[in-house]
Structure 1
């Protein structure tokens, strides 16, 4: 079974206000690569184009057993959401400071690849320091309790 891939950097750089689970349009070799856990979220983000939501810069490594029909590692991939969710997200994106970030890629119980996306507001530098302090104190408490 495939492991779940998380975007830890997103929680560090953004306050996540809403989360949505979206389907993603993939090729066969991309699904095989995701099952092997070959996904990287570096600088990936979501954007709207003609009323559709796309994820950009999501790296899915080429499948090592693929043939000449292997996929391109980095290209725009369409996300599948309901019309109501798309309208809600597009309205929020027009407000200043909001962005949509992929948070994790996973396979559901039907073995379909899903992407959890989050509506986030960027953190300032001092907010990031607070996040680091909070994480360090929690880590120390866990070590002290054990």
Structure 2
């Protein structure tokens, strides 16, 4: 007998712009503190990370400008779409991130939102350094070369 999982739909929302704009140094997985109908909207896949960023406030990590669309089935009990949300990490990870974040030129960027095996919303964040224009050009050249090589093999 096949058991159907409650969380059968795979949610994996990526910030495609981030890998183009930033060079990732280290990645972490953080939990999200959500309110009300936000998890239902995430399960529908209605999340945008394009303008989101993370920052520290009194030793805790928060994400700002992450857009979670209001849930369509909730009437008046809906959530604010772009409120700041607290991220849940271990104390060691927070300390490590905060010391590296204080270095000049480093940022904490959200990379993707996904649901784990238990159905909890998780956010993958990366400690990143902004790319220069010539770095972006090199990435584009490498992608084009890979495409050409894959075309030639067929």
TM-score normalised per structure 1: 0.96
CA–CA distance in structure 2, aligned partners of residues 90 and 61 of structure 1? 30
CA–CA distance in structure 2, aligned partners of residues 60 and 143 of structure 1? 39
The aligned counterpart of 1:125 is: 133
Q: Is the 8 A contact 2:47 2:69 kept in 1?
A: yes
The aligned counterpart of 1:103 is: 111
Larger radius of gyration: 2
User: Unaligned stretches of 5+ in structure 2?
Assistant: 1-8
SS at match of 1:22: strand
The aligned counterpart of 2:4 is: none
Q: CA deviation at 1:28?
A: 3.2
Q: Is the 8 A contact 2:36 2:77 kept in 1?
A: no
CA–CA distance in structure 2, aligned partners of residues 71 and 37 of structure 1? 16
RMSD: 0.9
CA–CA distance in structure 1, aligned partners of residues 140 and 128 of structure 2? 18
TM-score normalised per structure 2: 0.92
The aligned counterpart of 2:44 is: 36
CA–CA distance in structure 1, aligned partners of residues 147 and 65 of structure 2? 32
Correspondence 1:112 to 2:120: yes
The aligned counterpart of 1:84 is: 92
Q: 1:53 aligns with which of 61, 66, 72?
A: 61
CA–CA distance in structure 2, aligned partners of residues 43 and 113 of structure 1? 19
User: Unaligned stretches of 5+ in structure 1?
Assistant: none
Point out the more displaced range, 131-140 or 86-95: 131-140
CA–CA distance in structure 1, aligned partners of residues 152 and 33 of structure 2? 46
Map Cα deviations across residues 13-59 of structure 1 (whole Å, 9 max, x no partner). 11101000000001231111111111111211100001000001001
